[in-house]
Structure 1
Amino acid sequence: MDTMLWPFGTTWRPVRQKKRDTVDLRWLSARSWTQRWYPQGIDLGVWHGRRTLAVSWFRQDRAGQHLASRVAFVDLERSRHLDILLAVDDGDGELVPARIHAGGLAWFDDRLFVAATGRGIWEFDLSKIRRVRGPLARRLAGARSRGWRATALVAVRTRVHPVDLRCSYLGRVFDDDGTPLRRVLIGEYRTDESGRIGEFSIPDEPDARFVEHDRISPGIRSMQGAVRWGDRYFVSQSDRLRPGILCRGGRAALERDPVSLPVGCEDLALDLDAELLWSLGEHPWRRVVRGIPFARLQLTR
């Protein structure tokens, strides 16, 4: 297969895309089974003029400590992906890994918002991607082995947005007619039914804060992601090694949908252009990024 180069000569890597009842993307590398990196968040945007899917990952050690995070940008037309590491300036001009769970994404132009469980929402600037080499590239990837590639692309955190929620995941909000709003849903993963979901407008001014407009408590355990389209909410619920559960409906009447989500489901993203609801599974050997057609969900624009 031909390769596609991006600035700095970085090579995009292939993914396998199959279309039948769903659109399934699978990783053609060790990331399909590795227990070092886990996929979590998902959203869509435009990357250098092309429709692109963003998937966040976190890296952990054997003790479960977070070491690093990254975002894979998937060119949906050409079935290729490119990794961007997430980093933080330590205040002395040195870059260190963004050691967060990266449980959800919201992508607005060059602003990428990432859920940092228990630590608010972190914002990264996609307009100033850096190239790093050698030991720094390995360190930002949380890797100690010299076998890790010698160069990497990096997005640096610009702001931390404090939010009075656990910030386990992050999803987009659309108006009735499908117009994307500058709002997000921020929710809490809880193993009981106490998890909450808040709706916030994102700040445009440098010193402004997220402004909360609404908050609901759906009474759903193990919530992993949420999006809103008009008065319809969509919430993903994980169920261990069983297929994930999709709950949908009005804010006070979320019900289980007969259509299942991937095993080990995580975040959700609405793709109104392609009429797909995207989710993904995190478990090794079962990892898939899945787009469910609106027709299967009996959704119409």
Structure 2
Amino acid sequence: MPRPLGSSGRPLRRRSLETLDLRWLTARAWTNRWYPQGVDLGILDGRRTLAVSWFRQDRDRHHLASRVSFIDLERSRHRDVALVIEGPDGELEPARIHVGGLAWFGDRLFAAATMQGIWEFDLARLRTVRGADARRLTGSLRRSALVAVRTRIHPVALRCSFLGRVFDADGEPLPRVLIGEYRTGGDGRIGEFLMPAQEGDGFAAVEGGLIAPGIPHLQGAVRWGATYFASQSDQLRPGALWTGPAGALRRAAQPLPAGCQDLALDPDARMLWSLGEHPWRRVVRGIPFARLGIEHPRGERRLDG
């Protein structure tokens, strides 16, 4: 695992009566080279940490690289980790994927790789690269960088546009994920899968766990007990949050950021996290459970289950 988080590019933390917002104070706020996409919570160096994924593209919108920013929620400090793959000769190459969603289980980080299944990365064996390798793998002028290496590709019979966690009604994390499809029409599906428990296992579909909510532009989904939460983007307008049981999702009054993407449940802080991808509107937003009607018993819950 990496050393304590650095403070470069520290996001600004701003709390209102309705939300907790993190906004970048650097070029990340407006660059059109990198776009934030996925979000999840975990424990890093013994501290509660928010993970935000990004993909880099060129002017022709070809994917060039991807990374994850690990944000210490108490200090608002962060550290970037580039996602990479190892070739047959051992040479590292950038992971050229959209990273539309994250699911973080201990040292295992799972990323949605649209049309390419789910990619797994090892956070226990981060590597430091320097010089030309650091610049090539991060798409920046950095002299050194941390990288997480892909360990497996998990084929899934869905488009794998996004990826979210599942919790029971008491806030306990379950070894399950929701994998969903972004579609411009209302034919995007969300499937529930059991996590690969050991080497050689794949994602196993949960019987009756595939739903088609009929919502266009789906961007993320999570489940708390029997209640699903799904995000829907609407270009530069505020996103929509849909909630309810399978087969009966309804649009909630609570808006999401413009250009909303992935969702993550945070039982410890009692928040639902989302983020907006558009330059100049970029925000990582926590919405209190109280505004969403989520009842959560008192007591701290583990994020790394």
TM-score band, normalised by shorter chain? over 0.9
For residues 5 and 134 of structure 2, the distance between their equivalents in structure 1, rounded to whole angstroms, comes to: 13
| Structural mapping, 1:55-70, within 5 Å | 55-70=52-67
Tell me, yes or no, if structure 1 residue 110 matches structure 2 residue 107.
Answer: yes
Give, in angstroms, the shift of residue 62 of structure 1.
0.2
Q: One-letter code of the match for 2:77? A: R
For residues 163 and 142 of structure 1, the distance between their equivalents in structure 2, rounded to whole angstroms, comes to: 29
Q: Give the 3-state SS of the residue equivalent to 2:293 in structure 1.
A: coil
Give, in angstroms, the shift of residue 228 of structure 1.
0.3
Give, in angstroms, the shift of residue 10 of structure 1.
7.3
The aligned counterpart of 1:32 is 29
Which range is displaced more, 201-210 or 42-51?
201-210
Which range is displaced more, 14-23 or 111-120?
14-23
- Aligned-residue identity in percent: 65
For residues 265 and 107 of structure 1, the distance between their equivalents in structure 2, rounded to whole angstroms, comes to: 20
For residues 215 and 129 of structure 1, the distance between their equivalents in structure 2, rounded to whole angstroms, comes to: 35
For residues 232 and 49 of structure 2, the distance between their equivalents in structure 1, rounded to whole angstroms, comes to: 25
Q: Which runs of 5+ in 1 are unaligned?
A: 1-5
TM-score after normalising by structure 2: 0.94
Q: One-letter code of the match for 1:91? A: P
- 1:293 corresponds, among 288, 291, 301, to 288
| CA offsets 1:209-232 (integer angstroms, 9 cap, x no match) | 110001000000000000001100
Give, in angstroms, the shift of residue 142 of structure 1.
3.0
Give, in angstroms, the shift of residue 194 of structure 1.
0.4
TM-score after normalising by structure 1: 0.95
- 2:219 corresponds, among 224, 245, 250, to 224
- 2:247 corresponds, among 226, 248, 252, to 252
Are the aligned partners of 2:5 and 2:78 in contact in 1 as well (CA < 8 Å)?
no
The aligned counterpart of 2:168 is 175
Q: One-letter code of the match for 2:7? A: W
Moved over 2 A (4+): 9-13
The aligned counterpart of 1:126 is 123
The aligned counterpart of 2:267 is 272
Paired positions, count: 291
For residues 299 and 226 of structure 1, the distance between their equivalents in structure 2, rounded to whole angstroms, comes to: 15
For residues 169 and 59 of structure 1, the distance between their equivalents in structure 2, rounded to whole angstroms, comes to: 17
Q: One-letter code of the match for 1:86? A: L
Give, in angstroms, the shift of residue 49 of structure 1.
0.1
The aligned counterpart of 1:15 is 11
Tell me, yes or no, if structure 1 residue 75 matches structure 2 residue 72.
Answer: yes
| Structural mapping, 1:111-260, within 5 Å | 111-143=108-140, 148-213=141-206, 214-260=209-255
For residues 214 and 116 of structure 2, the distance between their equivalents in structure 1, rounded to whole angstroms, comes to: 23
Q: Give the 3-state SS of the residue equivalent to 2:134 in structure 1.
A: helix
For residues 259 and 89 of structure 2, the distance between their equivalents in structure 1, rounded to whole angstroms, comes to: 39
For residues 12 and 85 of structure 1, the distance between their equivalents in structure 2, rounded to whole angstroms, comes to: 17
For residues 25 and 130 of structure 2, the distance between their equivalents in structure 1, rounded to whole angstroms, comes to: 24
* Alignment RMSD: 1.0
Q: Give the 3-state SS of the residue equivalent to 1:253 in structure 2.
A: coil
For residues 269 and 10 of structure 1, the distance between their equivalents in structure 2, rounded to whole angstroms, comes to: 21
- 1:263 corresponds, among 237, 258, 271, to 258
The aligned counterpart of 1:3 is none
Q: Which runs of 5+ in 2 are unaligned?
A: 297-305
Give, in angstroms, the shift of residue 40 of structure 1.
0.0
| CA offsets 1:234-283 (integer angstroms, 9 cap, x no match) | 00000011000000000011000001000000000000111100000000
